Amino acid sequence: MSETNSFFKRSIKSIFSIFLTQTKVSKIVRLAENFVLIEMAGTKLKEAKWIPGCKVQVDVGNLTYRTYTPISVDKEEGKLSFLCYNRKEGPASTWIHSLKVGDPCEVFGPRESLDFSNLEGDAILFGDETSFGIAKVLQNNVKKKSYTFLELNSAEVGKEVLGHLGLTDHRMMERSLDGSHLQTMAKEMFDLISEIPDPKIFLTGRASSIQQVRAYLKDSGIPTNRLKVRSYWADGKKGLD
């Protein structure tokens, strides 16, 4: 990092330090290949205003922040936990690989992202490996039933992690080289949407996959204003929410 960039980051951190929460890593559970469940503890977390579906931004080193979905926030104990998917590239990957219990960490949030606090009916969520956390939060907070559609590199690994999280009613499909799995999955989603009275629909994960699923649903007659979108990553880009 250049001296100018380093100075800029330190200045920004100084300005926003009042919003940062000092925590320590209290538990690390490596669930399966590339999936790590991390728990952090900090006194200030007892004051956190947590909305199910919110996000936290974590300093993964050198004042670089990456965004995760808290699976739970324990205000009594001052703890939060979130699931990381290690994509084996960039600063977040290095941080996850080297992380140890007791390591200090700064957290910005919880902050507003998706809001699952008042879901009266059924809900449908599309995503990928980076969406496991938000899928778990959705299942825990929907009043009726949640259905999850996931594109994955490995259905076997996905099944293992989702089993650990207790996530049910999920449809997994491994990625195809030509991307044809997305049309198949979008069609299955549309068929389900057609059977359920006014379900809430959330599209998460990879930006290009969201675009294709969104386009299929739109062309099939689903108004875009019914689709809540959160892109967690995109090819060639860093630090998305």
The least confident of 17-21, 84-88, 176-180, 202-206 is: 17-21
pLDDT surpasses 70 at 3: no
Q: Which residue has the higher pLDDT, 198 or 13?
A: 198
Show me where the domains of the chain are located: 3-111, 123-233
pLDDT on residue 86? 85
pLDDT over 70 at 18, yes or no: no
**What strand order describes the sheet that includes 104-111?**
65-68, 55-59, 104-111, 20-32, 35-41, 79-85, 70-74
CATH architecture assignment, domain 3-111: Beta Barrel (2.40)
Q: Alpha-carbon torsion 73, 229, 120, 37, what sign?
A: negative
Give ∠ CA 119-152-135 in degrees, rounded to 5: 15
Bridge pairing between strands 200-206 and 170-174: unpaired
> Strand 65-68 to strand 170-174: parallel, antiparallel, or no bridges (unpaired)?
unpaired
47-60 residue pLDDT tens = 888 899 999 999 99
Cα(138)–Cα(182) distance, integer angstroms: 22
Average pLDDT, the chain: 89
Asked if residues 105 and 58 have their Cβ atoms less than 8 Å apart, the reply is: yes
Average pLDDT over residues 133-151: 95
Mean pLDDT along residues 130-139: 96
* Contact call for residues 183 and 156 (beta carbons, < 8 A): no
pLDDT at 12: 46
Q: Residue 90: exposed, middle, or buried by beta-carbon count in 10 A (0-12, 13-18, 19+)?
A: middle
pTM for the structure as a whole: 0.89
Contact 16, 202 (CB under 8 A): no
Under CATH, which number does the domain 123-233 receive? Answer: 3.40.50.80
